[in-house]
Each structure stands twice: as C-alpha cells, then as structure tokens.
Amino acid sequence: MTLTGRTQEQLVAEVAELRERLHDAEETLRAIREGEADALVITEQQGEKVYTLKSARAEENLRLLADAGVMPTESLDLAATLQSAARLAVSGFADWCVIDLSSEEGPIERVATAHADPDLQPLVEELKRFPPRGDEPRGPALVLRTGQARRIPQLSPECLQTAGEDPEHQRVFAALAPTSALQVPLAARGRILGVWSFYSSSGRLYDEGDQDLAEELGRRAALAIDNARLYGAAQAANLAKDQFLATLSHELRTPLTPVLAVISSLEGDDRLEAKVRESLAMVRRNVELEARLIDDLLDLTRISRGKLELSRRQTDLREIVEQAIETCCGQDVASGRLRIVKDLVAADQTVWADAPRLSQVFWNLLNNAVKFIPQEGTITIRSWREPSEIAIQLTDTGVGISPGALGHIFNAFEQGDLGTTRRFGGLGLGLAISKAIVELHGGRLSAESEGTGRGATFTVRLPIGGRRREAAEAVETERRGAPKAESGRPLHILLAEDHADTAEALAALLEGLGHRITVAGSVAEALAAAAASAGTADVDLVISDLGLPDGTGFDLMRELAHRYRLPGIALSGYGMEEDVEKSRQAGFARHLTKPVTLDLLKEVIGQVREEDLNALPALPRSPRIR
C-alpha cells in the first residue's frame, strides 16, 4: 500500500478543515465561558437532545438564597424540604396541612401531608390518594389556576360533602373534621408551582392576619422548591457539559490520525526536497499542538470526574525539569529573547511520580511564563529541600497577575481576565490541569505575584519518599517498562480499522517499519483473515480500532485471544477510562488513543513483542495486562 493517492493539496485541505473544526470548538468554549450560549446539543443514542443551561445564573441565585437562610431547611432534596415545611406548619398554626405540586406536564401531585396528632397522621396520608384534578372548580385546583389565595373562615357541613367526587375521599376528609381552611399558592418567579392547604380542626377560625402569614410561608416554600428544581437542572447541565467535552474531543481527535501518519511518513521520504520537508515539519508541529489542546480537554473531563490516574515510578526530577526547559525555552534562549537562571542542585534526586504527567506540569508552567513575557525577560528556576518535600520554583519577569485574578487562575477556562484571553490565546486549561496533577502526586502548586507588570512565581512542592506502599507496583512497572528500541524480525500484522484513510495511513507506516500488513474493515473480515493464516501461525499481532461496523474491537480481541492467543493493541478516539479498562479485560496488551505517532507505535509494538517472548507459552494472554 502506498500514499500516492494523496496529493500535497489534499493534505493541506485536510489540515485546513481540521483548523476549521478546532476553531469551531474554541468558539464554542469561548461562547460558553463568556455566557453567550445557554443551550447545548448532545448526541445521545436516541438522537440529538437539547439541554438548556440556566446553570450559571441559577447556581448564583441558589447560593444567595441558601446564604440568606430563606427556607427552614438546608436540604436541596425537594421531598424532604416540603415534608419538613409541612411539619413546621402543624406545630401550632394548623392542625393538619397538605402540599400539592403541579408538574410540567402530567397531573398535580400531592407531595406532603402532616397532622399535629401523630395518631391521625395515617388518616391525613390517605389524602395522597386523592390529588386535585386540574379542572376542579374549587379547592387547590382553583388556587393553582388563579394564583389567588383562598380563605374559608368557617367550613360548613355541606362543604365537607362536596370535597371531591370520590365517596372515599369525602369520608377521609369528613373524618379529619376541618372547621376552617386557608389555601395559598406556591409562587416563584411568576410561576405557580403548587398549593399549600392549611386546616384547623380545633375550632380555630382563620382571619386575614393568618392568611398573610400563610402566604409568606407559601412564598418561602416556593423559593425552596424553585431552588431544588434549579439545582437539579444545574446538575444535569454539568453532566451534559462533561459528556459534551468528551464527544468534542473525540470528534476532533479522530481525523488527526491519518493526517499525522501521512505527515510522519512524508517527512521521512528522502525523495522530497528539504524545503518541502521543512514545511511538513511545520504542519506536523501544528497538528501535534492541536492534539495537545484536545488532550487538555480530555484531561479536564477526567479531572472533573475524579478519574485522572497516575502510573508512577522512580523518576529523576532534575532531568524532567531540565528537559522541560530545553523543550519549552530552547528556541527563545537561542534567539536571545529569554534568559534562564537555574539552580537545580536540590532537585537532583528521584521522586515517586508519573513522568509524562509531571513533565506536562513543567511544560505548562514554562510555556505560560514564556507566553506572558512580552518582549525580553528572564525565567529563574530554583529548587530547595523542605523537611518532607522538595520545592521547584519558577519566577518570570512577565506581565504578572492582578490581585483580583490571583484567586482563580487555577480554575478551568479562566486566564487572568478576558482581555488576557484575547491577547494571549489558549483555552486556559493548563493551570487547572497542572494543579490537579501535582495534587494527585500528593504535592501542592501555588502562585504568587506582586501585581500586574511585576512578574509571577509558581511553586511546585512534591513529597519525598512515600513509595513504600507502592513498591510492589513499581517493580512490576519497571519490569514492564523500558521500551526496547529494536527493529527485530518483520511481523505480520492484522490491522482492523474501518476508517479507510486511517487504515491506509497506518498500513503505510507499519510497512515502512518493515512489517507485512493485512487490513480488515470489520470484525468478520478480521476473523476470516486470522482463520486463513491460523494453520501457519502466520499473524503475529493484531491492531484494532474499537468501533467496527459489525461489532467492537473488544469482541474481536476476545475471539482472537481465545482462539489464537494473539497479542493485540487497541486504538480508540476516546481514551476514556472505561475503554482502557474494557480493552484490558478483552485481552488487549495496550490501548492507544488516536492520533498515534510513528514513534509511539514503534515503541509499543516493541514492548508487546518483548512481553510476548517473555510470556510462558502455557499462560493465557490476557492476565498479563495491568
């Protein structure tokens, strides 16, 4: 398979389309962040669904009201709130009471009842079987329709007779023997949410003053109901937002795979002029940058769901910092724009850390420092030991942080202020992610600045030692780790991928490494190909996409692992934890998230093969995977 089907123009067009999609994504996030959008479209299994986002304002109102202590409860649980309100009312004001709520569509619900006499509570509970009907000419239904409170100072025996049409209802009502009644609307923000009915059975006759009090109680209860409903909506909106980000990341990530693959392969093509290859390197750097932005989005959803996981081992802290400086500042130092002053002697030791994640932290901090130094400046990196921690401190001479902004720069999507966002670009996710990563390591990340124009200082503190508990894990990680950079015997690889461009590009890359490739576009094709070569034990390795037209990569892997004991590598666009876990269970030795680079693929194939050679033939293949 070759790449001749693709011209440079097509490649440029693909990258342009990609840029457009990323632009859309950034625009979307900007609009949400600045409160310019208030609804989201989420694609669910049943189709598109629209979620309206009243959350920002709603949550604000919510906090305000909660602080003001408006309702006699701290609970946002609607049923509990109303039940406690009902109990409150029967501690003197009424002998018994009933609360009815109207729902968006559907019938009126009788949600709470209370009686001052515990012995009569079961009787009043029976009223829940007879909620008012919307069209009734009297009682709670009338109040719901008109929004006007009703006071019936003295209930006549005839009145009791007409309570509802159901004889059973009349019997219960008569047994409760009300003598006077008040029915007030529960109204909030111009909407009538329900009715609260108070009854006296002890001869007390409700007067106008009583009505005022009942109406005030009604207003407070209505606010509590409104809060609980808004809170529910806000929760739903938050969930929707997470899912939205995950979908967005996947959408953006999938088309990057063929683009990156083709570029890597063209870059290595000696027949192309050096100048062309330079341009390709530029294209690749930009695509990789976009991939990183998408990774940030994914990381953020993981963090917000508490699912970011570390894979730790003994790590040379100084090396991580030095490499980050080289990566992020090398160019600017060479051009003379940036000066680096460093003292990393104290950092010369190992920490128990996830090296790629920790590198991400220092990249973020250094990139920020570089970004926020307007023309020329200095970054000073110091390190020192504290009793149980090691500290790395980065100080820049950049634009600084205003005191007002300092408090929330670690919040996702927030940079110093909106002006900063426009001036410096970016999604504002880096610091939030960095802080989460450092804290997962048991460390701390803090920021200081003397104000706008006076530079900023970020300090990372990481614990020293503390690996005892995880020692066993470390041994295994190290045994498993250390990729072998070997080219080895050419393999026959079965590639299951239904996205034609991705399949073509990956096959070309793998062939470039000297392997032989069989492409299958579905589970059935892949199984057929494996069966065809089974007699000769020909296929060495499976690389499979997770979403195939006639099944999942998991199904395929389970079959192949079971029948032929083939090792496998999973590819997916999502990189969600569930997928990673599921692919382990299905028998995949590794799970890679698109886009996949040549180097990574090479490394992982090397690792999988190494493990395969080390594994005892009698062992089933799947339990090796952690």
Partner 1 sequence: MESPAEDSELCELRLYVAGQTPKSVTALANLKKLCEEHLAGKYRIEVIDLLEHPQLARGDQILAIPTLVRRLPSPIRKIIGDLSNTERVLVGLDLRSRR
Q: Enumerate binding residues for partner 1 (CB under 8 A).
A: 24-25, 27-28, 30-32, 34, 36-41, 43, 47-50, 52, 244, 248
| Residue with Cβ nearer partner 1 (100 or 290) | 290
In whole angstroms, the minimum distance from the beta carbon of 283 to partner 1 comes to 21
| d(C-alpha 608, C-alpha 322), whole Å | 30
Taking the alpha carbons at both ends of the chain, their separation in whole angstroms is 35
The Cα-based distances of 604 to 76, 385, 541 in angstroms read 50, 37, 12
In whole angstroms, the minimum distance from the beta carbon of 42 to partner 1 comes to 9
In whole angstroms, the minimum distance from the beta carbon of 52 to partner 1 comes to 5
The Cα-based distances of 600 to 308, 313, 492, 500, 584 in angstroms read 21, 20, 18, 21, 19
Q: Which segments of 282-363 are extended strands (E)?
A: 313-316, 338-343, 350-353
Name the DSSP class of 323. H
| d(C-alpha 4, C-alpha 11), whole Å | 12
| Residue with Cβ nearer partner 1 (39 or 80) | 39
| Residue with Cβ nearer partner 1 (31 or 619) | 31
Half-sphere exposure of 316 (CA within 13 A, CB side): 8
* Count of CB atoms situated within 10 Å of the CB of 97: 26
In whole angstroms, the minimum distance from the beta carbon of 30 to partner 1 comes to 8
| d(C-alpha 177, C-alpha 96), whole Å | 10
In whole angstroms, the minimum distance from the beta carbon of 53 to partner 1 comes to 8
In whole angstroms, the minimum distance from the beta carbon of 551 to partner 1 comes to 25
In whole angstroms, the minimum distance from the beta carbon of 123 to partner 1 comes to 44
DSSP H/E element including 523: helix 523-534
> Is 124 in contact with 176 (CB distance < 8 Å)?
yes
Q: Is 130 helix (H, G, I), strand (E, B) or coil?
A: coil
| Residue with Cβ nearer partner 1 (28 or 522) | 28
In whole angstroms, the minimum distance from the beta carbon of 322 to partner 1 comes to 40
| Residue with Cβ nearer partner 1 (252 or 379) | 252
| Residue with Cβ nearer partner 1 (32 or 600) | 32
| Residue with Cβ nearer partner 1 (40 or 66) | 40
DSSP H/E element including 188: strand 180-188
Name, in order, each residue with C-beta under 8 angstroms of 458's C-beta and a sequence gap of 6 or more: 365, 368, 369, 393, 394, 445, 446, 447
Residue with tokens 């009538």: 192
Task: Residue 196: name the closest of 209, 181, 208 by CA.
Answer: 181
In whole angstroms, the minimum distance from the beta carbon of 498 to partner 1 comes to 21
| Residue with Cβ nearer partner 1 (43 or 75) | 43
Q: What are φ and ψ of residue 424, in 5° steps?
A: -110, -5
| Residue with Cβ nearer partner 1 (62 or 503) | 62
